């Protein structure tokens, strides 16, 4: 049982009425009406409490016509008991670290272009291709930095490089690099190379 599951179960049990209902159901399967009469609460209130306990995995529900029968989920209860017995040994939840954007700042571009990269990347991977041309050019300019000048690449080579940063639709990104003038392609598509840096993007 994860720490979040344990916390959810503890929250479900942190109510006197729900603890009473759990003890009553430990005696056997009962309907909402039966339980409401025993704890002197309305059926909607009992249903709410039972839903919380069921959501925590402590109860099971059986429908018979319009009647709802609840019983203890023995497996779920046993799982919770084991978690409680080992609570001091539970490892902390893994820390979800923020995306490492240090590589973006290292580019030394203007702040507006850097913000485009922060918006559309995470940990050095492209998360989406911008639809606006201005932002798209920033992304293409970045991807172009992955290629070495004066070096010839096969189509397979180009695909491998692009897929390092965008697996989802590398074909579209390759086409955009060519259409926007960042990559040159030999007629027939046999060889690709990085366009000279001083060439104006179309």
Q: Is 93 helix (H, G, I), strand (E, B) or coil?
A: coil
> In the predicted model, what is the mean pLDDT of residues 169-194?
89
Total residues belonging to the chain: 202
Domains identified in the chain and CATH numbers: 3-89 (1.10.10.10), 102-194 (no CATH)
The region, left, alpha or beta by phi > 0 then psi within -120 to 50, assigned to residue 158 is alpha
Output the average pLDDT for the chain: 85
How much is the pTM?
0.51
**Which tens digits make up the pLDDT trace of 18-52?**
999 999 999 999 998 999 999 988 888 888 889 88
Q: Is 130 exposed, middle or buried (0-12, 13-18, 19+ CB in 10 A)?
A: middle
**Which tens digits make up the pLDDT trace of 100-154?**
677 888 888 999 999 999 999 988 889 988 889 999 999 999 999 989 888 899 9
d(CA 16, CA 25): 14
Confidence category of residue 193, pLDDT binned at 50, 70, 90: very high
Which one-letter DSSP state was computed for residue 43? H
Q: In the predicted model, is pLDDT for residue 95 greater than 70?
A: no
For residue 183, what are its two tokens?
């990559």
Closest of 106, 98, 104 to residue 116, by C-alpha:
104
Q: Give the list of residues 6+ apart from residue 199 with CB closer than 8 angstroms, or none.
A: 181
For residue 179, what are its two tokens?
């259409």
């Amino acid at each position: 049982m994860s720490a979040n599951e344990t916390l959810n179960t503890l929250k479900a049990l942190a109510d006197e009425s729900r603890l009473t209902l759990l003890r009553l159901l430990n005696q056997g399967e009962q309907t909402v009406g039966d339980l409401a009469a025993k704890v002197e609460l309305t059926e909607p209130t009992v249903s709410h409490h039972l839903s919380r306990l069921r959501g925590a995995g402590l109860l099971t529900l059986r429908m018979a016509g319009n009647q709802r029968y609840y019983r203890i989920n023995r497996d779920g209860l046993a799982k919770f008991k084991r978690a409680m017995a080992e609570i001091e040994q539970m490892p902390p939840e893994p820390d979800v670290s923020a995306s490492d954007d240090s590589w973006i700042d290292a580019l030394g571009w203007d702040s507006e272009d850097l913000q485009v990269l922060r918006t559309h990347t995470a940990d050095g991977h492209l998360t989406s291709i911008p639809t606006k041309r201005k932002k798209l050019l920033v992304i293409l300019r970045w991807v172009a930095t992955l290629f070495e000048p004066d070096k010839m690449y096969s189509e397979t080579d180009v695909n491998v490089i692009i897929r390092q940063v965008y697996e989802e639709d590398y074909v579209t990104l390759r086409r955009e690099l060519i259409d926007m003038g960042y990559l040159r392609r030999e007629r027939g598509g046999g060889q690709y190379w990085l366009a000279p840096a001083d060439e104006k993007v179309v």
